Amino acid sequence: MDNYEQVLVALRRVIRATDLHSKRLSKNAGLTAPQLLIMRTIRDLGQVTIGTIADYVSLSQATVTTILDRLEHRGLVYRVRSTADKRKVHAHLTEQGGALLSGAPQPLQEEFILKFQNLQQWEQSMIVAALQRVANMMDADDIDASPVLDVGPINREDGWKGSPGKNSSS
């Protein structure tokens, strides 16, 4: 197999692993990766504003609000306006949301991060440089992306979309 074929096979495996994990997450927990990430952020940070969630998960506030709308509709989260500052709204997990979260699989990127951080610094740098070069070769330099491994349609409701540095998904 030629080197370029090996690269394409490796890329396809990454895409496929991401797709399989997303399907497992959806089947087991009924959540998308961004929904899971937002729920985990609420759990980990406690009483938290939408802006803080957005910053923490690298999504736009509008996207986080849309995702929270869906999670609230399912009875997994609820929002409360701050009594100290009426402009702020805090998100909380419901008991049902906490139970669902405790049984949900770990996000794929967290498993990756643990393994990646165990590599030597020089090896991490080589991987980063090689993947950035591959993205460049695929004319993907200007594609907005988030550090959340998820696949799916790219549209306002179900995909990444946002300003540079912020991404949208539901």
Q: pLDDT (tens digit, 0 to 9) for every residue of the chain, 170 residues total?
A: 898 899 989 989 988 888 888 888 888 788 888 898 899 999 999 889 999 999 888 888 898 999 999 999 999 999 998 888 888 889 999 999 999 988 887 777 778 889 999 999 999 999 999 999 998 998 887 776 666 666 554 333 433 333 334 444 44
Task: Name the nearest CA neighbour of 37 among 164, 155, 136, 168.
Answer: 168
Assign domain 3-137 to its CATH architecture.
Orthogonal Bundle (1.10)
What residue ranges do the domains of the chain occupy?
Answer: 3-137
SS3 142: coil
SS3 89: strand
Contact between 150 and 32 (Cβ < 8 Å): yes
SS3 145: coil
